[in-house]
Copies of this chain bind each other. A is one copy, B any other.
Amino acid sequence: MFKLCRRMSTEPSPIVVRAWARLARAQQTGLSQIEASLKQAGFPPLAWYDALLELDRAGEAGLRPYELEREMLLPQYSLSRLLDRIEAAGHIARHPCTEDGRGHRVTITPAGQELRRRMWPVYAAAIQTRIGMRLSQQEATILVDLLGKLINPPTS
Interface residues of A (CB under 8 A from B): 8, 10-13, 15-20, 22-32, 73, 121, 124-125, 127-135, 137, 139-144, 146-152, 154
Contacts and interface: CB of A to CB of B under 8 A. Distances in A.
Contacts of A154: 133-134
A129 to B, nearest CB: 8
Contact of A140 (B19, B24, B132, B137): B19
A52 to B, nearest CB: 15
Number of copies: 2
Most buried by B among A19, A20, A130, A137: A20
B150 A134 contact: yes
A11 B32 CA distance: 19
7 tightest A-B contacts by CB? Answer: A27-B27, A22-B147, A26-B150, A12-B128, A16-B132, A12-B132, A12-B127
